[in-house]
Chain A
Amino acid sequence: MLNKAGSKKKMYPDMADSNPKSKIMGQIDENLKRIYNETLNEQVPDKLMQLLDQLRKKSDQAAADTEGDPS
């Protein structure tokens, strides 16, 4: 089920770390991760959790109505 997110290789493996450009690129990546992770680590709003509950209930109800088998 897990995606292969962890297996991504370094963006610029061929550039020496002393290269200023590669330092900038490294910091760009760092900041991109920070932008992404700030939202990633926020609590998901109840509204979205509730949406999933509602969709599940509706599907289960529909399944029960058409098949008479709620399990």
Chain B
Amino acid sequence: MRAPSEDPRDELVKHLAPLRAFAFSLTRNMAAADDLVQDTIVKAWTNIDKFTKGTNLKAWLFTILRNTFYSSVRKHRREVADPDGIHAQSLFVKPDHDGRLAYRDFQRAFDQLSPEHREVLILIGASGFSYEEAAAMMDVAVGTVKSRTSRARRRLSELMFLADGEDAFSGVDQASLTVMGRSGIEAA
């Protein structure tokens, strides 16, 4: 009856890692991310007849995942960040002074963004979707994706104490670092 190569469910396994990466960028908590991927897989499996063959399965799966995430956030209205997790450990670590944005500072700023901002940044900036694909997944206009992306970037820069056009490469002074450390704790 079933030709395995024609069943999109056989392709799901290939998308587990990207789904986890996307889920973690929304939840910032690995256990919650894995639960979210699990729910997504079950929904995808049971609703596979709603998937149009030949279209982008990864985008379809990402759409299920983000919709599942937001409906659960709306239901529970709980803090999904991981205040006592790996990120808290890095609060007092000095950033690199090698002219790069310190990755731990970046992670800390990223954690403080809203899920909507993290989502759009990861979809556009990291997972390789186009504005058009992201707009379809998020069910908003392309222009909304673009403006949300630029707001999210600006917010991220602000959280890292990088004003527009400021040179990020001379290093951050110690006072700012102390404030950043504190704001990290307050946010957590």
Chain B interface residue number, banded: 35 or more
Report yes or no: B153 in contact with A20, Cβ–Cβ below 8 A: no
Contacts of A63 in B (CB 8 A): 1-2
Report yes or no: B37 in contact with A35, Cβ–Cβ below 8 A: no
Contacts of A41 in B (CB 8 A): 17
Could you tell me how many residues of chain A have their Cβ less than 8 Å away from some Cβ of chain B?
41
* Residues of A14-71 whose CB lies within 8 A of B: 20-21, 23-25, 27-29, 31-42, 44-45, 47-49, 51-52, 55-56, 59, 63, 67, 69, 71
* Residues of B1-19 whose CB lies within 8 A of A: 1-2, 9, 11-13, 16-18
Contacts of A36 in B (CB 8 A): 21-22, 25, 122, 126-127
Counting residue pairs across A and B whose Cβ atoms lie within 8 Å, the total is 123
Measured CB to CB, the residues of B under 8 A from A are: 1-2, 9, 11-13, 16-18, 20-22, 24-25, 30, 33-34, 37-38, 41-42, 45, 56-59, 100-101, 103, 106-107, 110, 121-122, 124-130, 133, 153, 156-157, 162, 164-169
- Beyond contacts A8-B129, A35-B122: 12 other A-B pairs, Cβ-Cβ < 8 A, are A21-B164, A24-B162, A29-B126, A31-B103, A32-B121, A33-B125, A34-B103, A36-B126, A39-B20, A48-B37, A55-B9, A59-B45
